[in-house]
Amino acid sequence: MTDQLTSPWGITSLPDGRLLITQKGGQVRIVSANGVLGGVITGLPVVNASGQGGLLGLCIDPQFESNRLVYWIFSEPVADGSLTSVARGRLSADEIRIENAAVIYRATPSHTGSAHYGGRILFDLTGHLVVSTGERSDMVTRTQSQLLS
């Protein structure tokens, strides 16, 4: 592996065995099997990296080899606080940027705190995207976080 990353957070394997890794501050990097670290991949939205926020979990689309789509969770700064948000974009063929990044889900309402964003994401065996989020450490929502209703 490598000791060149700053606050690595999420990790997923690319089809060729290299690793796609998020760094809390908002960067994505590719690391080869022998530990060679690629440059910062640009094109992602700004993250709120304070507290427990940042660029969190990520995964690749089950059809990544043909569509090159990457999905990630991040703490999105907004006018009245921040949100746990999910975005997707296409990893460019030269692997230096995410193209057409777009937020596809926002866990509302926004919150002014910087804790409990959550942030894991994956595709299940049937192709559904599964996302976990936190309850944002709010005393009202904390008690509701495990209620299936």
In tens, the pLDDT along 53-96 reads: 999 999 999 999 999 999 999 999 999 999 999 999 999 999 99
Q: Tell me, what CATH number does 88's domain have?
A: 2.120.10.30
Residue 146 located in a structural domain: no
Q: Which domain holds residue 104?
A: 8-135
Sign of CA dihedral 29, 41, 56, 100: negative
Whether 116 is a known active-site residue: answer yes
What percentage of the chain reaches a pLDDT higher than 90?
77
What percentage of the chain reaches a pLDDT higher than 70?
99
When the pLDDT of each residue in the chain is averaged and rounded to a whole number, the result is 93
Residue 39 located in a structural domain: yes
* pLDDT tier, 1 (very low <50, low <70, confident <90, very high otherwise): low
Q: According to the model, what pLDDT value does residue 40 have? A: 97
Residue 35 located in a structural domain: yes
CB 32 within 8 A of CB 18: yes
Residue 19 located in a structural domain: yes
pLDDT tens-digit map of 107-137: 888 888 888 888 899 999 999 999 998 887 8
Backbone angles phi, psi at 66, to 5 degrees: -105, -30
Peptide bond into 77 cis (omega under 30): no
Catalytic residue among 23, 116, 118, 135: 116
Record the pTM.
Answer: 0.93
**Tally of domains within the chain:** 1
Residue 68 located in a structural domain: yes
